[in-house]
């Protein structure tokens, strides 16, 4: 009897804890709501703009990927036509850049606001349950998942700036002057 095999999938979770900008409204409830919306927008932009960078040639140096052997790279180029880390056929890149699950929790007023971006890693053995029996794989699936999760310091500053700008824009657009705190 034949059984259908499917690839094991891993949800890569990247958690962000960002400082929320100074409170600009009188209401704690409105502050929390606007902060969550601004954070959601900033993380969605991160997924759209920065996650695809992990599948480019420059990503090895930018994110400090583990070194692959020259033999592996040359065999990969011969077979798949690319030596780029994390890319063979492009399936993983397509999956990770097109789908996401984003959850935001906590409260901005108590500095516990947190965002979790979950990406599907459709890679055989992607859950890490399976060990490589022949021991030939120098870079494990877990290592590849960590490489996708990596965020450079500059990118984290960009996300922080987008959060602050988004929050200030939402306060300006959606609150009246009476609801805002006057900064002197």
Residue 120, beta-bridge partner list: 11
Asked, for residue 97, whether it belongs to a domain, the answer is: yes
Distance of alpha carbon 180 from alpha carbon 72, whole angstroms: 59
**How many other CB atoms sit within 10 Å of the CB of residue 123?**
19
Asked, for residue 1, whether it belongs to a domain, the answer is: no
- The pLDDT value given to residue 9: 47
- The pLDDT value given to residue 88: 84
- The pLDDT value given to residue 6: 40
Asked, for residue 143, whether it belongs to a domain, the answer is: yes
Residues 155, 47 contacting (CB under 8 angstroms): no
Number of domains in the chain: 1
Which strands, in side-by-side order, build the sheet including 9-17?
9-17, 114-122, 101-105
Asked, for residue 3, whether it belongs to a domain, the answer is: no
- The pLDDT value given to residue 170: 94
**How many other CB atoms sit within 10 Å of the CB of residue 125?**
16
Mean pLDDT by 10 residues, the chain (184 residues): 43 63 84 92 94 92 89 90 87 89 89 86 59 59 83 89 91 88 69
pTM score, two decimals? 0.80
- The pLDDT value given to residue 11: 57
The residue range of the domain holding 143 is 9-174
- The pLDDT value given to residue 55: 92
Asked, for residue 155, whether it belongs to a domain, the answer is: yes
- The pLDDT value given to residue 183: 65
């Amino acid at each position: 009897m034949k059984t259908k095999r499917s690839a094991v999938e891993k949800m890569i979770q990247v958690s962000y804890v960002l400082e929320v900008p100074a409170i600009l409204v009188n209401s704690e409830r409105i502050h929390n709501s606007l902060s969550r919306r601004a954070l959601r927008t900033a993380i969605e932009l991160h997924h759209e703009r920065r996650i695809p960078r992990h599948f480019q040639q420059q990503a090895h140096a930018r994110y400090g990927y583990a070194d692959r052997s020259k033999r592996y790279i040359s065999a990969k180029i011969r077979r798949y036509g690319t030596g780029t880390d994390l890319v063979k056929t492009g399936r993983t890149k397509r999956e990770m850049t097109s789908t996401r699950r984003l959850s935001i929790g906590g409260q901005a007023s108590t500095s516990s606001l947190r965002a979790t971006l979950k990406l599907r890693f459709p890679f055989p053995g992607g859950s890490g349950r399976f060990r490589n029996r022949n021991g030939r794989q120098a870079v494990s699936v877990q290592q590849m998942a960590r490489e996708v999760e990596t965020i450079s310091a500059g990118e984290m500053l960009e996300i922080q700036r987008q959060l602050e700008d988004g929050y200030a824009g939402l306060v300006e657009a959606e609150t009246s002057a009476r609801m805002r705190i006057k900064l002197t």
